[in-house]
Chains A and B, each alone.
Chain A
Amino acid sequence: MISAKMVSAVTFLYLFCTVLYINYLAFRSERLGKFVSLVAWISLLIQTTAILWRWVESYQMGIGHAPLSNMYESLVFFSWCIALLYLLWEWKLKSRAMGAFVMPFAFIFIAYASLAPGISAKIDPLIPALQSNWLHAHVITCFLSYASFAFSCGVSIIYLIKLNKQEKGKKEGGLTALFPSLDSLDSLVYKTITVGFPLLTLGIVTGAAWANYAWGSYWSWDPKETWSLITWFVYALFLHARFTREWRGRRTAILSIVGFVAVIFTYFGVNYVLSGLHSYA
């Protein structure tokens, strides 16, 4: 399949981008920065084509459906959401400093899709439970929210590194020189969560609406549902902790990382560790 080959190519391109973004932090060369952004946009374009092409391929096989139906397809889409979100922010903020900490997420998930054993790139027909228009709304909102949280987690890591360096009284320089100020990092963590949280809510709501059509119950405390609610609680906690101004900076940055761990467990952990109704991805 051509689309799967394109995905493999994008995997290596994202690795290349990650390395370049780290080099950009080290050498602070504007030309290098422009180059890595160009490579990242081209990679995203290839990945977009790969996703669309896979859609076409499924129609050629006579089982046409959107490429959002299993672990492989969701991983590729997740990686696509992260890269897209990151590049849009990069373009808006005119700062490439975060690339070294956000692009690795886009790389890891697409690499997992194309390299991990047990994840098949085969296009399978949709089983009856997945034959629903809710599939698109549910998967797209969930992964856009996951991508915002991945971004937020990356920025939180930068925040902690920078804070650590400042507290030790080290001079600003080296790899952290290009990072925005602690305050703007903190507000970026918050902003990405105010994007991710409504999307996660929408993902849970569309999932509930779908479950009500498919299983006759909008909420059945299935492990996937419960873990999405746990994730929701963690980010609700983040917003309230920040709102009361009791927790700021370090503690909210850690909370954003904890939130992303919960996202990862909701996505993978539930499938590999627990069992339930939601066994597709």
Chain B
Amino acid sequence: MSAGKEKGFWSSLWDSLSSVRLTIPLLIILAVASIFGTVIPQNASLEEYLQVYKVTTYKILKILGFLDMYHAGWFFFLLALLSLNLLVCSLKRFRSVLKFFVQPEIRLEEGQWKAISPSRKVSQPLLPEKGLTQIQETLSRVFGRPQVLKAEGSHHLFAEKGKFSRLGFYFIHLSILVILTGALIGLYFGFRGYMNIVEGETTDRVALRSGQQTHAFGFKVKLDKFNVSFYSSGAPQEFKSTVTILEGDRKVLTEPIRVNHPLTYQGISFYQSSYGLANVEKVVLTIQDRNTGKETTVPGQIGTRAQIPGSSSAFVLTRFISDLRGGGPAFQVVLSEPNRPMETFWILQYHPEIEASRPGRYYFRVKEIEPQYYSGLQVTRDPGVWVVWSGCFLMMAGFYLAFFVSHRRVWVRLTEKKGGTLVEIAGSSRRDRLEFEKELEKIEQAIKGIFPKGEKELKKREDQK
């Protein structure tokens, strides 16, 4: 009894896993869950969450794993279930597809002829044995090389095209497993880190994104120089970190890292991710006295009070921003003139016209900056990435086969009829039936063309009898 029950359980489990009926709710759940993941901020800080949610809501979301949803156990479980579902589905249906490759049906049973109907009929004056070679050649020419089966009373020809399209769906489904495997390899054997490195600095490790650990490279990385250039509009044009890789004290290579152009060394890749100002080493300003028209250049320093030459006015550069709202480098200036209230304003290196529109005696411009930058580099190692790309490639090949190639099969049967041959032609196509009908029509015409007057001759023979 219990054994039977158990078998019932396993076979019903197998049935649900092998059913596309499971795929549909799984896809719906994954889609809905992913929507939640884009609405609820992921991996934010406690303060950010408490600005949006009440404490109890926050706790519930945390317990349910909605705050780092895409790495939550239940999300992995859904993906695993989907993988299992498509694996079992594929296995279950694979045998019937394998048949197309291992033993194609060359000879159709009588019932199958009727099922495919209507078959096309051509009459030939030659006996099947004599006409066979010509029909074989004709079929090779207009469709594809046929396989031939000679049987008692009838001969059978079978030709097919695009049988690999049967594998398309397996390629697509298999590719999802390959991609997920690649992702797992990356997750367990790779790492992702981020580092800010100041010009001139050298480091041999990076802080990982997950947790407090660091990962040692096994070599050293030195940031020689960071350059940022701007378009005339002030929008950034290029971020470039020039780094040197060192093995011990030996310089191995010096290469630039730009956005979209990472540097990879020993499987570890460095990506230009952000930058900022560590220090302004030197600033030179040009100050024009509007009363006299005289210009003077004044060296400055952040936070240090400087006198405007030949006057009793003074200024302090209080802040520096390397990119003020997309307008490029900017300084905040606090200007104190005798008998006037203190004035605070911004001067932008690439937009002197903003400062020019400020009324007042002195007109400030940035002549030169020598900043010391830090560069923010994303550092990753992902040995699974090539597995993911092969999965993607397999998927695209699968789509091509499944949606754009059609498995077309043509059967030709020759039977003796009144001293001649009755040629029957039937075909089946998985897609584009209309197109295929045209192809069949072509085959029929070509076979008719072997003996253009075949039908007439047969008729004549019959009349003579």
Contact = CB atoms under 8 A, between A and B. Distances in A.
Interface of A: 63, 124-125, 127-129, 131-132, 194-195, 197-198, 201-202, 205, 208-210, 212-219, 221, 223, 226-227, 229-230, 233-234, 236-237, 240-241, 243-244, 246, 270, 274
B104 to A, nearest CB: 24
Contact of A202 (B35, B382, B396): B396
A233 B236 CA distance: 37
B260 A218 contact: no
A58 to B, nearest CB: 13
A124 B233 CA distance: 9
A130 to B, nearest CB: 9
Interface string B384-424: 01001100100110011001000000000000000000000
Task: Tell me if A's interface is mostly helix, strand, loop or mixed.
Answer: helix
A216 B264 CA distance: 11
A241 B21 CA distance: 8
Contacts of A63: 231
Interface string B279-300: 0000000000000000000000
Contact of A236 (B27, B269, B382): B27
A246 B20 CA distance: 10
B102 interface: no
Contacts of A197: 399, 403
B400 A198 contact: yes
B349 interface: no
Contacts of B269: 216
A233 B27 contact: yes
Nearest to B29: A233
Given A219-B183, A237-B28, A241-B24, A129 B395 contact: no
Contacts, number: 105
Given A213-B262, A217-B192, A240 B23 contact: yes
B258 A128 contact: yes
Nearest to B70: A221
A217 B193 CA distance: 11
Contacts of A226: 34, 37-38
B31 interface: yes
Nearest to A199: B399
A90 to B, nearest CB: 18
B348 to A, nearest CB: 18
Interface in B215-249: 231, 233, 235-239
A63 B232 CA distance: 11
Interface of B: 20-21, 23-24, 27-28, 30-31, 34-35, 37-39, 42, 70, 183, 192, 231, 233, 235-239, 258-262, 269, 271-273, 378-380, 382, 385, 388-389, 392, 395-396, 399-400, 403
6 tightest Cβ-Cβ pairs between the two chains A and B: A198-B399, A128-B259, A216-B271, A233-B31, A216-B378, A132-B260
A205 B34 contact: no
Contact of A227 (B38, B380, B392): B38
A31 to B, nearest CB: 29
Contacts of A208: 388, 392
Contacts of B260: 128-129, 131-132, 210, 213-214
B392 A205 contact: yes
A274 B27 CA distance: 23
Nearest to B259: A128
Chain B CB within 10 A, most for which of A131, A210, A270, A274: A131
A219 B391 CA distance: 14
Contacts of A128: 236-239, 258-260, 272
Q: Residue among A124, A129, A214, A234 with the most chain B CB within 10 A?
A: A214
Contacts of A233: 27-28, 30-31, 34
Given A125-B235, A197-B403, A246-B21, 11 more contacts: A124-B233, A124-B235, A128-B258, A205-B395, A205-B396, A215-B273, A216-B379, A217-B192, A217-B382, A221-B70, A227-B34
Nearest to B272: A128
A9 to B, nearest CB: 28
Contacts of A213: 260-262
A131 B238 CA distance: 9
26 contacts: A128-B236, A128-B237, A201-B396, A205-B392, A212-B385, A216-B262, A216-B273, A216-B378, A216-B380, A217-B192, A217-B380, A218-B388, A219-B183, A221-B42, A221-B70, A226-B38, A227-B34, A230-B35, A233-B27, A233-B30, A237-B24, A240-B20, A240-B24, A241-B24, A243-B20, A244-B24
Nearest to A229: B34
B262 to A, nearest CB: 7
B233 A125 contact: yes
A212 B384 CA distance: 12
B384 to A, nearest CB: 10
Nearest to B20: A244
B271 A214 contact: yes
A205 B395 CA distance: 10
B236 A127 contact: yes
Nearest to A270: B38
B27 A240 contact: yes
Contact of B389 (A209, A215, A241): A209
Contacts of B233: 124-125
A125 B235 CA distance: 8
Contacts of B271: 214-216
A119 to B, nearest CB: 18
B259 A129 contact: yes
Contacts of A212: 385
A152 to B, nearest CB: 14
A217 B259 CA distance: 13
Contacts of B235: 124-125, 127
Contacts of A205: 392, 395-396
Contacts of B400: 198
B329 to A, nearest CB: 17
B28 A125 contact: no
A95 B237 CA distance: 49
A221 B34 CA distance: 9
A45 to B, nearest CB: 28
Contacts of A237: 24, 27-28, 31
Nearest to B381: A216
A213 B211 CA distance: 25
Contacts of B238: 128, 131
Most buried by B among A63, A208, A218, A240: A218
A158 to B, nearest CB: 21
